[in-house]
């Protein structure tokens, strides 16, 4: 059984599971809850504190679960509520908390709420979604755009009005200015808390409210948005009216108050904004709102010691009493080995290096399924694409299917052991070659290294909760100190593809930490660092 710890999330590691692609227990080609439960022993062996399961609610699957038609039931392809309860029980027995992905800003157009709302202008739910009259010439009420391309407004012939959608036209935005909508959202949160859920990843957490006056967004005269492809015209606007309104944080205080009635719970909000670090103190004000903010800072193509330092120092300078949840990959971006690694470094070395780095920075950390295997981005041909985002912007942007392919479990089994039926996305041969069973047999694989790092880190509160201070360094080296309750640990990282000798003599007496994954040596105040490696030492001087 899990030991209760209200502060577990601070420095915790959360393993993200994309249920459609994790494990298929009933062999219909789609992953399911029973499949997840069957692999929880594997997940627990990694040394994570929690799992985050992407949406599994009833849905027409136009956006693969991020278009919800019933917030309190399970999509049949994923299983039943009984299957979910069994998963909770299994996770609890293994000491793993279960967090789920709540998509509250919008629903499916097939949700009963929207069906009723669009039926007339005077029904009980007429104001549950964002409706607006057209301009006199019939065009949409303002210039707001959808992330998935085109106007954020869709004409409805029945009501003879436009409704707002920040994503697909089949994903209408709920009107959180309506108190009844807020109550319904909170009832959804409590429904899952009562079933044993220990937290939520709140999708598009700053999209809940919109500007009541429906003012036009201004032209974006700054940098492109870090979470949107360059080919997407969404980049052309500053999105100051269609999201990130002051009312957002007031509603989040209600969510937090509800969470605080249950033990061992945490929340992490996905923050989609031009400069999300500036919003962290507002959205995670201590004990009032979210526990953590999940940003896109490291989900871009940019990488390197200077970039990491710049992002982390900016975040630290602006975070206040808040907390960040770091991630270098998820179900929306290309696999990290394809995105960041050069051709000189193996996947095993690179992933080991990244896990060592990201679990040493100040914050919590989300590990996306398959990254512990060093999977590369899959190349999905257009005729097999499922992602509407990729289909819309092909070929300049190939969508998100390449990071969503099924998890490989057994090298020589059909579909790498994911399912005996043809899976919803193909399993690339190069992924089968890195299946879990293969990596388990190789004690030098990144799977073993990730496992060793996460278990090692658990015994070091200074890396979980300590403050961080960056030290002078030059590329390809990054140096920082973590400090907690009188203990100081110096961390050094070589981002380069060649060995480096790093002078640490100015930092007093250093005592190498036992159990660290790389074999770098300290010699006369200098550490001899392998390519793509880390080094940790207790500091006993100034």
Q: Known catalytic residues? A: 203, 270
DSSP string, 310-349: HHHHHHHHH-TT--EEE-S--TTS--HHHHH--TTS-HHH
CB 111 within 8 A of CB 58: no
Burial 489-505 (b: 16+ CB within 10 A, else e): bbbbbbbbeeebebebe
Neighbouring C-beta atoms of residue 384, cutoff 10 Å: 10
CB 110 within 8 A of CB 57: no
Structural tokens at position 513: 């930490």
Structural tokens at position 466: 């300590």
Backbone angles phi, psi at 161, to 5 degrees: -140, 165
Q: How far is CA 394 from CA 10, 43, 169, 318, 452, in A?
A: 39, 34, 19, 37, 40
Dihedral angle sign, alpha carbons of residues 500, 467, 252, 220:
negative
3-state secondary structure 444-494: CCHHHHHHHHHHHHHCCHHHHHCEEEECCCCCCEEEEEEEECCEEEEEEEE
DSSP string, 216-259: PPPB--SPPPTTS-TT-GGGGB--SSSS--THHHHHHHHHHHHH
């Amino acid at each position: 059984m899990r030991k209760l710890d209200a502060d577990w999330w601070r420095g915790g590691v959360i393993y993200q599971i994309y249920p459609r692609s994790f494990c298929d227990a009933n062999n219909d080609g789609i992953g399911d809850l029973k499949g997840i439960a069957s692999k929880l022993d594997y997940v627990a062996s990694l040394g994570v504190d929690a799992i985050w399961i992407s949406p599994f609610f009833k849905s027409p699957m136009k956006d693969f679960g991020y278009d919800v038609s019933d917030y309190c039931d399970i999509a049949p392809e994923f299983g039943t509520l009984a299957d979910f309860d069994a998963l909770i029980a299994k996770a609890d027995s293994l000491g793993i908390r279960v967090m789920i992905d709540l998509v509250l800003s919008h629903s499916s157009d097939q949700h009963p709420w929207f069906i009723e709302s669009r039926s007339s202008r005077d029904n009980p739910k007429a104001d549950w979604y964002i409706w607006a009259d057209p301009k006199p010439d019939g065009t949409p009420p303002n210039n707001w755009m959808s992330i998935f391309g085109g106007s954020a407004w869709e004409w409805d012939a029945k009501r003879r009005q436009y409704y707002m959608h920040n994503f697909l036209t089949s994903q209408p935005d709920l009107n959180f200015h309506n108190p009844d909508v807020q109550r319904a959202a909170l009832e959804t949160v409590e429904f899952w808390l009562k079933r044993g859920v220990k937290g939520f990843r709140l999708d598009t957490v700053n999209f809940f409210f919109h500007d009541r006056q429906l003012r036009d967004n201004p032209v974006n005269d700054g940098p492109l948005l870090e979470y949107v492809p360059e080919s997407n015209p969404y980049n052309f606007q500053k999105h100051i009216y269609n999201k990130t309104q002051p009312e957002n944080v007031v509603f989040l205080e209600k969510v937090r108050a509800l969470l605080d009635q249950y033990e061992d719970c945490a929340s992490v909000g996905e923050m989609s904004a031009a400069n999300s670090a500036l919003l962290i103190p507002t959205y995670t004000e201590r004990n009032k709102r979210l526990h953590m903010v999940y940003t896109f800072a490291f989900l871009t193509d940019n990488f390197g010691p200077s970039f990491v330092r710049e992002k982390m120092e900016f975040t630290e300078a602006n975070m206040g009493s808040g907390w960040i949840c770091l991630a270098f990959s998820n179900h929306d971006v290309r696999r990290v080995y394809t995105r960041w690694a050069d051709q000189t470094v193996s996947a095993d070395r690179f992933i080991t290096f990244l896990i060592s780095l990201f679990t040493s920075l100040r914050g919590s950390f989300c590990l996306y399924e398959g990254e512990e295997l060093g999977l590369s981005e899959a190349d999905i041909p257009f005729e097999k694409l499922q992602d509407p985002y990729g289909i819309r912007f092909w070929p300049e942007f190939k969508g998100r299917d390449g990071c969503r392919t099924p998890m490989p479990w057994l090298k020589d089994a059909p579909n790498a052991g994911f399912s005996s039926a043809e899976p919803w996305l193909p399993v690339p041969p190069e992924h089968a070659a890195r299946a879990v069973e293969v990596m388990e047999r190789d004690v030098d694989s990144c799977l073993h290294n990730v496992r060793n790092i996460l278990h090692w880190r658990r015994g070091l509160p200074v890396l979980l909760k300590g403050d961080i201070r960056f030290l002078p360094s030059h590329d390809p080296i990054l140096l920082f100190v973590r400090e907690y309750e009188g203990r100081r640990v110096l961390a050094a990282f070589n981002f380069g593809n060649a060995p480096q000798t790093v002078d640490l003599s100015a930092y007093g007496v250093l005592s190498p930490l036992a159990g660290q994954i790389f074999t770098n040596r300290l010699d006369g105040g200098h550490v001899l660092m392998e390519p793509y490696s880390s080094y940790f030492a207790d500091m006993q001087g100034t």
